[in-house]
Copies of this chain bind each other. A is one copy, B any other.
Amino acid sequence: MHKVTVLDKKGALDCPIRDVINRIGDKWSLLILVVLSEQPTRFNELKRTIGDISQKVLTKVLKELEQEGYITRTAYDESPPKVVYDLTEMGISVLTPVGHLIDWAEKNHAMIKGNRSKTD
C-alpha cells in the first residue's frame, strides 16, 4: 500500500493535501482545469462548455485558481471584451496526479454505485 502522511504535529493545520483539496475539491475547479487542458479558453466559452455553472461562481473560481497559480488570465483590449484563461505549468502538472485519481474513479465507479444502492 502507498504510505501516506496527512497529520502533522499541529493536528492537520497547514497540511498541504488539505490545502489543495480545499481549493480543487469543490464543485467546479477540477472541471475547469480539465477543460483548460484541452486548449486556452475564453470566459463564455468555458461557461458554455461546462453548461450548468453559474456566471457568478465561474468568475469566482477562476479568480481563485488564478490567485493560487493554477491558471493565467489574459485580457485583450477589444470590444466586446476578450479574456482568455490558460493553464500554468503548475496547473498542467497537477493534472498528472489528478489523472490517476480519475482513472481510479472510472474503474471503481460501478462498484461504488453498487454499494450505495444496497442501503438506499
Contact = CB atoms under 8 A, between A and B. Distances in A.
Interface in A71-120: 90, 92-106, 108-109, 111-113, 115-116, 119
Q: How many copies does the complex hold?
A: 2
- Please indicate which of the listed interface residues A4, A18, A103 has the most CB atoms of chain B within 10 Å of its own CB: A4
- Per DSSP, are chain A's interface residues mostly helix, strand or loop, or mixed? helix
24 contacts: A1-B95, A1-B96, A2-B96, A3-B99, A4-B34, A4-B37, A4-B98, A6-B30, A6-B34, A6-B102, A11-B52, A12-B50, A16-B102, A17-B30, A18-B27, A19-B113, A25-B26, A67-B119, A68-B112, A68-B116, A93-B104, A94-B104, A94-B108, A97-B103
